[in-house]
Amino acid sequence: MVKIAPSILSADFAFLADEIKKIEVAGADWVHIDVMDGQFVPNLTFGAPVVKCIRKTTEMFFDCHLMVENPEKYIADFKAAGADQMVVHVETTKHLHRCIQQIKGEGMKAGVALNPATPLSTVEEILPYVDMVLLMTVNPGFGGQSFIESMVPKVARLRKMITDAGLDVDIQVDGGINDKTAVLVKEAGANILVAGSYVYGAQDVKAAIESLR
Ligand code: DX5
Ligand code: ZN
């Protein structure tokens, strides 16, 4: 089963509660929350205080994508704010295994994310410890960028790595996902699709979400 996780990066931040309700009634599975620090990526968004506020408005699964340096500093804050999952970039921490253990220790699901140019070998040793691997299909930092086609075989290679290891790990893709690129990544083995501008820019949000399944 494919899960759809609309990214609120493309929502109107002045009406966040309404924007989340909009995707909830349209049948989205998760809320994808893009946290950016202006250091790891050239953009700033929001942190745990905003997550805490929106937590009061919905029961939906909060999938927090941390595009920040040293994400281990924020694990307790995100747990307290009501995050269900934290996904950290392998490029952002010197102690990835410890970071993942801390996220799991807080009772959250844990994922690792890879930039387009980061090889799959960087997740080989951590695969048995994570619930999900996020493969970026654009360079992180902004919504509305074009899908990088060469990431499709990368998804397929990761799916094979997971199967060969006898593991049950989800593959999420993020960036440039629409009704066309969704077909390619699903065929390659991705089962959780993030979409920001495609969902929030649609006239009919429900139809947009359905078109990705
Ligand atoms: C990019 C973010 C994405 C972003 C995707 O750094 O991680 O989640 O919202 O936006 P679209 O779907 O518009 O490419
Ligand atoms: Zn994201």
What percent of the chain has a predicted confidence (pLDDT) above 70? 100
Answer whether 42 contacts ligand 1 (Cβ < 6 A). Answer: no
pLDDT (0 to 100) of residue 195: 98
Distances (CA, A) of 106 to 44, 130, 163: 26, 14, 28
The set of catalytic residues is 34, 174
What local confidence, expressed as pLDDT, does residue 176 receive? 98
Which two three-digit tokens encode residue 62? Answer: 């909060």
The CA distances from residue 110 to 17, 86, 92, 141, in Å, are 25, 5, 15, 21
| Rounded distance between C-alpha atoms, residue 213 and residue 205, angstroms | 13
- Would you place residue 59 in the very low, low, confident or very high pLDDT band (cuts 50, 70, 90)? very high
Return the percentage of the chain with pLDDT > 90, whole number.
100
* Average of per-residue pLDDT across 128-154: 98
For residue 32, which atom of ligand 1 is closest to its CA?
A: 8
Decide: 89 in ligand 1 pocket, CB within 6 A.
no
pLDDT level of residue 44 (50, 70, 90 thresholds) = very high
Specify the ligand 1 atom closest to the Cα of 65.
7
- Please check whether residue 32 is in contact with residue 7, taking contact to mean a CB–CB distance below 8 angstroms: yes
78 Cβ inside 6 Å of ligand 1: no
Ligand number, closest to the Cα atom of 202: 1
Cβ contacts of residue 99 below 8 Å, gap of 6+? 71, 72, 75, 88, 93
CA of 63 to the centre of ligand 2 (A): 9
- What's the mean pLDDT in 79-87? 99
Does ligand 1 have an atom closer than 6 angstroms to the CB of 174?
Answer: yes
